[in-house]
C-alpha cells in the first residue's frame, strides 16, 4: 500500500510541477511561486511576491518568460501576470474551494529555499471566504504556489503561515478576482517565452 501511495503522490507532484513556475520580481531579489492559470498566458501569484510591474518566470524544464503584472489586489494578496504563451503550457485544473471538506488530503507545490518544485502534503482544516487553512508545511518561496486536492485540482494559492498552519487564498476568490481582468488583457504587451 505504501508503494502505491508513493507512486500516486509522485504522479500528483509531476502534474502540479508542470503548472508551477518560479516568479522573480524584476525590481528586487528573492523569488516566489506562481501557477499557470490559463493556456492564454495568465499566471497567478501573491501580490507580495511581485511588488513591481514586471516579473520573470522560470519553468522546471528551463524555459523562461518575462511577464507583466496586469492586475493586483494587495488586500487579497493576489496578482495576475500575463505573458506571451507558447506551445506546451499546462494550465492547472481548478476546483471550487467551497467544496473542500475538512480532513481532505491537500498538497502544496512551490520553490522554498531554492528547492524547485518541492511538495508537501497534509489535510485541509477549514475553508471560508477569506482562507483555505491546511496543515501543510510552507516556507519562503512557497508563496504564490498551488494548494491542491488529492486529484491535483487547485483549491487555493498559498499565501502565508499563521499559528503553524498554511493559509491559502481560496480558488473561488481567485476566480472572482480574474473576472475583473476580462477585456483588459488585449491592451497589454507581452514578451516571448524563451
d(CA 66, CA 64): 7
d(CA 122, CA 142): 15
Contact between 86 and 60 under an 8 Å Cβ cutoff? The reply is no
Helix, strand, or coil (residue 81): strand
- DSSP class of residue 92 equals P
Burial of 165 (0-12, 13-18, 19+ CB in 10 A): middle
28: Cα within 13 Å, side-chain hemisphere: 9
* Residues with active-site annotation: 48, 77, 143
The C-alpha cell at 52 is 513591481
Amino acid at each position: 500500500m505504501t508503494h502505491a501511495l508513493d507512486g500516486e503522490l509522485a504522479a500528483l507532484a509531476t502534474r502540479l510541477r508542470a503548472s508551477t513556475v518560479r516568479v522573480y520580481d524584476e525590481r528586487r531579489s528573492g523569488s516566489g511561486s506562481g501557477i499557470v492559470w490559463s493556456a492564454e498566458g495568465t499566471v497567478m501569484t501573491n501580490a507580495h511576491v511581485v511588488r513591481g510591474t514586471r516579473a520573470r518566470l522560470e519553468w522546471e524544464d528551463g524555459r523562461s518568460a518575462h511577464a507583466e503584472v496586469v492586475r493586483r489586489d494587495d488586500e487579497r494578496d493576489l496578482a495576475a501576470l500575463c505573458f506571451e504563451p507558447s506551445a506546451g503550457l499546462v494550465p492547472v485544473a481548478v476546483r471550487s474551494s467551497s467544496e473542500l471538506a475538512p480532513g481532505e488530503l491537500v498538497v502544496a507545490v512551490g520553490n522554498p529555499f531554492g528547492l524547485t518544485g518541492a511538495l508537501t502534503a497534509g489535510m485541509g482544516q477549514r475553508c471560508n471566504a477569506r482562507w483555505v487553512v491546511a496543515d501543510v508545511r510552507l516556507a519562503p518561496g512557497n508563496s504564490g504556489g498551488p494548494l491542491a486536492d488529492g486529484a491535483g485540482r487547485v483549491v487555493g494559492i498559498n499565501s502565508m503561515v499563521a499559528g503553524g498552519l498554511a493559509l491559502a487564498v481560496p480558488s473561488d476568490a481567485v476566480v472572482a478576482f480574474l473576472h475583473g481582468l476580462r477585456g483588459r488583457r488585449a491592451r497589454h504587451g507581452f514578451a516571448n517565452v524563451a
